[in-house]
């Protein structure tokens, strides 16, 4: 891997800060965007619909995922259909279950059959991926978001799960597997190497793309320089002569 332009996996930016999103929109490597209620709250969003309208006006031509926030399946479906009406580039995020652990498969099937582009989120197991696959319409675009980073947080290697997920989705031409919650740039390479369709990452990870194939000896020297410079800026000192005496 020489540079980010060699990547085959599509790069999505994950966040809800408008300035950060617009910065990534200017990056030709970024193919789309993902948001969620937690990211919106962190960014200080108080009016969900106004925020979405503003972002969609600024970014009209790249995929953007907006999530439902109801907990009853009937309300989820109602919200999903409304969110889908906001624009042709909108993917509606549906969690794999509600907070009671009730599967959202009935509304996934209903929405997908009606042509609503979905991003099914918070997936952690291949059984959940299979459930989603069983309920997606072949002709409707869909993203299947497996939280590989959170899987790794439990001490499990997410790569075998992601490989199996790709196999499950192979007969759905409009369904794309998304590697969610990456923790480091290495995850982008892992996603790319296994043939994952999309990885979504925060801006701080995406900004490290220029480190791909960086000379490690040079990187080591830069790190030493950073430590030295910060010690000088902090005006650290040690009275070694007094200790020696």
Q: What is the CATH number of the domain that holds 147?
A: 3.20.20.70
- 225 within some domain: no
Beta bridge partners of 64: 33, 90
- Domain with 130, as residue range(s), is 4-212
40 Cα distance to chain centroid: 14
- 22 within some domain: yes
pLDDT of residue 99: 98
- 230 within some domain: no
Segment 213-220 long-range contacts (CB within 8 Å, at least 24 positions apart): 213/1, 213/2, 213/3
Burial of 7 (0-12, 13-18, 19+ CB in 10 A): middle
- 239 within some domain: no
> In this structure, are residues 170 and 129 in contact, taking their beta carbons and an 8 Å threshold?
no
Nearest to 92 by CA among 69, 71, 61: 69
Structurally, the chain folds into a number of domains equal to 1
pLDDT of residue 196: 98
pLDDT of residue 13: 98
- 115 within some domain: yes
pLDDT of residue 241: 78
- 218 within some domain: no
> In this structure, are residues 18 and 229 in contact, taking their beta carbons and an 8 Å threshold?
no
- 87 within some domain: yes
- 92 within some domain: yes
172 Cα distance to chain centroid: 21
**Which residue ranges in the chain fall short of pLDDT 50?**
none
Span 33-56, pLDDT tens digits:
999 999 999 999 999 999 999 999
φ, ψ of residue 21 to 5 degrees: the values are: -65, -40
> For the packed helices 105-113 and 73-84, what is the interaxial angle rounded to 10 degrees?
30
């Amino acid at each position: 891997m020489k540079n980010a332009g060699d990547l085959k996996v599509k790069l999505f930016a994950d966040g809800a800060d408008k300035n950060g999103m617009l910065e990534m929109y200017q990056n030709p490597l970024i193919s789309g965007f993902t948001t969620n209620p937690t990211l919106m709250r962190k960014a200080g969003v108080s009016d969900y619909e106004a925020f979405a309208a503003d972002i969609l006006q600024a970014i009209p031509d790249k995929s953007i995922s907006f999530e439902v926030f109801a907990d009853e399946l009937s309300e989820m479906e109602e919200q999903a259909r409304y969110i889908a009406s906001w624009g042709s580039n909108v993917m509606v995020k549906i969690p794999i279950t509600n907070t009671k652990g009730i599967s959202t498969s009935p509304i996934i099937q209903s929405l997908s059959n009606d042509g609503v582009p979905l991003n099914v989120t918070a997936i952690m197991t291949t059984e959940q991926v299979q459930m989603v696959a069983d309920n997606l319409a072949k002709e409707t675009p869909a993203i299947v978001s497996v939280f590989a980073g959170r899987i790794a947080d439990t001490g499990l290697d997410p790569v075998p799960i992601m490989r199996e997920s790709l196999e499950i989705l192979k007969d759905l031409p409009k369904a794309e597997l998304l590697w969610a919650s990456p923790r480091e740039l290495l995850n982008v390479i892992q996603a790319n190497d296994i043939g994952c369709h999309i990885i979504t990452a925060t801006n701080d990870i995406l900004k490290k793309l220029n480190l791909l194939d960086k000379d490690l000896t040079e990187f080591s020297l830069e790190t030493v320089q950073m430590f030295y410079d910060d010690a000088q800026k902090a005006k650290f000192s040690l009275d070694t002569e007094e200790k020696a005496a």
